[in-house]
Structure 1
Amino acid sequence: MLRTIDLRGRALDADVIRAVLPRPQQDPSTVLGDVVALIDDVRRRGETALLEQSDRFDGGRPAAVRVPVDEIVAAEQALPGDIRVALELLIERVRAASRAQLSEPATTVLGDGARVLQRWLPVRRVGLYVPGGRAVYPSSVVMNVVPAQTAGVRALAIASPPQRDLGGAVHPIVLGAAGLLGVHEVYAMGGAGAVGALAHGVPGIGLEPVDVVTGPGNVFVAAAKRAVAGAVGIDSEAGPTEILVVADGAADPELVAADLISQAEHDVLAAAVLVTDAPELASAVVTAVERRQATTFHAERVRTSLTAPQSGILLVDDLAAAVAVSNAYAPEHLEVLTADPWPLVAELTEAGAVFVGPGSPVSLGDYAAGSNHVLPTGGTARFSAGLSVRPFLRQQQVVDYDLDALHEARPAVRALADAEGLPAHGDAVDARFT
C-alpha cells in the first residue's frame, strides 16, 4: 500500500531530497486561477454567488447565509454532555497555552528623554474558517476563536460550509461550540468563496470585511488565503493535513501505522510519510497499515490517501539523514518515535508542530494537548508558524523624544537625510531649533 523510496547510499543534498519527497500533485498554486474567479464572483454578486457556490461545491443551499442567533444559542444548549465537557477541557488548555504567547509592553530607553515603547494591539475584526466537508470540526472552532479572544479581538465572524445531509445548515456541534465561546456571528458558507466573503465583506447579509482570516481547510481554502493576503492578514496556508514520522528500530510499528492512518482519514489529499533507518520497521509498518486500513471507518479514503503520490516510506542510512529529509519536507505534523528522541528534536527545526514519543500522538494535538492544530502545510512550515495570538496582534512602536534628545540626534538625521537626497527630512528636525 505505502510505496517505499530507498535513499540509502545517496548524498542527500537539498536538491536531491526535494526531488524525491512525496508531495501532492495538487497544491494551492494549481488552483489559484479558479479560486480568484470564485472570490471575484462573490465580490460582484454577494449572497447570490455564495448560494450558488454552496449548491455547486457543498451540495446544499442554506436557507440563509447568516445563521440566526437563536439557532446558535439552541445548538449550544443542546450540546451532548460528553462533547460539552471535552470542548470545555480543550478551551481551557488552548486558552492557557495562548496566554503564554502574549508579549508584555516594553520600553527601551536610548538616552535621557529618548525612549521607544513596544506594544501589541489586537486587530479590530477577524474571520475564522472552520472546515466541514468530509468531517465535522468543533475543535477548529476552539483553535480559531480562543487565540483571537486571548489577543483581545472583540469582533469575530465564523464561516463553515453548509452540510448536505442537514439541508444546507451548519453542523449543530460547530454552532454549539461557537455559542459556548460566545460567538454569535456565523455564516453558512465554505471554500474559496467564504474566504473571499470574509476578506471583502458582503453588505447584503451584514458581513463587514475582516482584518485577518485564519483557519484550516482544503487546497481551495489554502489558495484563497493566498489570494486575499495583502488585502487582509492570514495565519498560514493550512491546507490538507500532513504527518511525517521519524522512527528507528525501537519504534512500535503498530503505533506508527495507527498514527499514519489517523491523519490519512482526514482527506484523500492527506499526506502520510514515514522516514526511517530501519528496513525491518518499514516492512512491519506496511503490514500493520494494510491490516488496519481494511477495518478503519474511512477505509476507502485512507486507502486513497496512502496510495497517492503524497504518501510513502523513505529509507535512509541513519537518523542524521532522517533529520535532513524531515527538515527539507517541513511537515505540518512531525512525530519523533526513536529510542532517544530529544537530541533529534533539537535538530528538527522545520515543522509546524513536533510530537515527541509514544505518549504524544498527533491526534492528541488535534484535540486535547493544548497546542493549536491550525498549522502550515505544503512545506510552508519553513517560514510560517502554527496559529497563535500573533496573527491577531499588531506590533506598534511609540516614539517619545523630548527636544533635548532630538537635538542630540539632530546631526545624524541631517547627515543621513542629505546623503539620501531628502533634505526636507533634516529641515523638519532643524525647524524645531530655529
Structure 2
Amino acid sequence: MSVRVHDVVAIGAGPFNLGLACLADPVDDLDLVVLEARDRLAWHPGMMLDDATLQVPFLADLVTMADPTSRWSFLNYLKETGHLYPFYIRESFYPLRREFDDYCRWAAEGVGSVRFGQRVVSIEHDGSAYVVTTGTGEVFVGRRVVLGVGTQPQVPPPLLDLLDDGAVAHSADYLRRKTDLQRGRSITVVGSGQSAAEVYRDLLAESPGHEYELTWLTRSPRFFPMEYTKLTLEMTSPEYTAYFQGLPDETRDGLLREQRSLYKGISGDLVDEIFDLHYRLRVTGHGPRTTLVTNTEVTGARRTEDGVRLDLHHVETDEHFGITTDGLVLATGYSSQVPAFVDGVRDRLRLDDRGRFVASSTYAVDLTGQEVFVQNAEEHTHGFVAPDLGMGAYRNSVIIAALTGREVYPVEKRIAVQTFGVPDHLRTTS
C-alpha cells in the first residue's frame, strides 16, 4: 500500500507549529500534517496559575499578525465560545494564560491537520522525501519537515544530580509538585525571570496558611522588570532579526547575554504586586517569613539529612555562604536542543561547532536551505525574538513563502522607526 506523501510534516504542536497549521489551512496547494506526542494539547501546564496572564497582547495569537481575517484568530475563538463581550468589557489586551491555553486547544482540535499521540522516534530520508516514524509504528512521509518540538527545562550544572530528588522540582512541574513542597518547613526558589516571580508570588500568597519559610535567590543584581518601551519593542521586528543574523557569532552570543532583561525579565506589574503583597502580609501580622537575595549564584548542591544543601556565592561581595531547604523550585528557564530523532538525517543538517542548528533567513537548517525548517530553535542566529509569541506569525509567513515559492501572507520588510546598523545614506567610502 502506498504511503501518502505530504508537502510538509511538522513535528510538535506548540503555538508555533500550531500557528503554521492554521495559516496553512486555507492554502489549497500546501498539504501539511502536524504530529504531536501528547494525546491532548496543554501549554505549560505546570505554570497554569489561575491569575497568570500572557506577557504579550492578544494580537500575538497564532495567526493575526499574518492574517487578521483568519478564522483561527483569538478574537474568533472568543466569539465562538461566547467570551468576546466579557473580554471587551475587561479592557485588557493581555489574555489569561488559561484562556490562551484553551484557545490553542480549540485551534488544535478544530484545524484538522494535527495528529495527537504521535511521538516521533526517527526521521530518515529515502532519497526523495523524509520518512517520519512515530512510537505507534505509523509512518508519515513529507517532502519537507518543520521542527517545532519546543524547548526543554534547563538546570544549572551544580543542580543536575538533584533533579531526580523528590524535594527538587523545575518550575515546568511546579503545580503538580506544589502540595508536596508546601508540606516542608522551607522552600527555596532559584531563578530571575517571570516564572520565578510567579512561583514566589504564589507561594508567598499562600504562606499564612502554612508553616514554611520562603527564600528567593537570583543571580541578577536586582529583580529586573522586563523592558517594554516602544523603541525597545521595535527590536521584535523583521529588520532587527536580519541585522542580528548578520553579526559575528561571538557578537550575537554577547548580545543575547546583555538583552536578557528584554525577554527574560519580570512583568513590572508583577514586581509591584509582590511588594504590595509583602506589605499586606506585614500589616495583617502574617509575616512574611521570607528572604530575597540578589547577586547570588548556586555553586554546589547536595542532599543531606536535613534537606537540600545549596552552596552559594554572592558575586558583588565575593562571599561564600549556604542554605539548607526542604523544597527547591528551579525556575532556571529552558533551552533548545537538537532532538535525537534527527540522527538519521544529521548529515543533511547544518550545525555549528556547538551542535546547534544554523538557521538561514528563511529558518531552514538543511544543507539545501529548502527542506528542514525550525521554530524557536534559532535564538543564537536570529536573536531573542525566537521564543516571542508575537513573532510566530511572521516566522510562519516566511516559512510558508519558502514552502510554496510565493508570499501567501505578506512578509513585512521594514516596520521600525529606527535603523539597526549603519544607515546606507550615512556610509562613507573613505
TM-score range, shorter chain: under 0.3
Based on CA coordinates, which of the two structures has the bigger radius of gyration?
1
Decide which structure has greater helix share.
1
